[in-house]
Amino acid sequence: MGIMDRHEITAIPSMKLRITITGPMVHDVSYRYLLLGGAMGLRLPGFYANNLMEPREQMVEILIEGREPQVKAFVDFVHNNKPANARISDITTSDEDDVPRRSEYTQDLTALQMLKVIPTILKIEENTKPISQMAKNTNQILEEAKGLRQEIQP
């Protein structure tokens, strides 16, 4: 056997799928994070997930790309795992043409979550300022009480 010419090496074909999870409660239950974790664990190079609305039900659309065993394992993962509060009525799969890189999705998801959390943090900070002031006042009152106590003790 001779050395293979580099032109003879064929790439392992990748598989691309669209998975749609439908149900009355599939949004705001951390579904996309669960799915991203599964995709990362299987090292899927392509992954995207988005919340969509239908007139009567919520949907999570997932686009995945990887080698056939990875994609099949992810489909099994989707069928066997769901967030505790999720309520699912259907899971469907179909072929897909274009799937973004998982790293791009991870960056986008992080940025979207930061847009949600920063205003909440600022509001918490604003709401805790009175507590900080109350703590200062409490310390001042305790010091005054100690002084009074010392004055009345013989």
Task: Tally the C-alpha atoms within 13 A of residue 142's C-alpha that lie toward its C-beta.
Answer: 6
Regions of the chain with pLDDT less than 70 = 1-11, 154
Whole-angstrom distance, CA of residue 134 vs CA of residue 88: 47
Fold of 6-100: Alpha-Beta Plaits (3.30.70)
Which residues have CB under 8 Å from 36's CB, separation 6+?
47, 49, 102, 105, 106, 109
pLDDT tens, residue by residue, 50-79: 999 888 899 999 999 999 999 999 999 999
Q: What does pLDDT average to over the chain?
A: 86
> Domain segments of the chain: what residues?
6-100
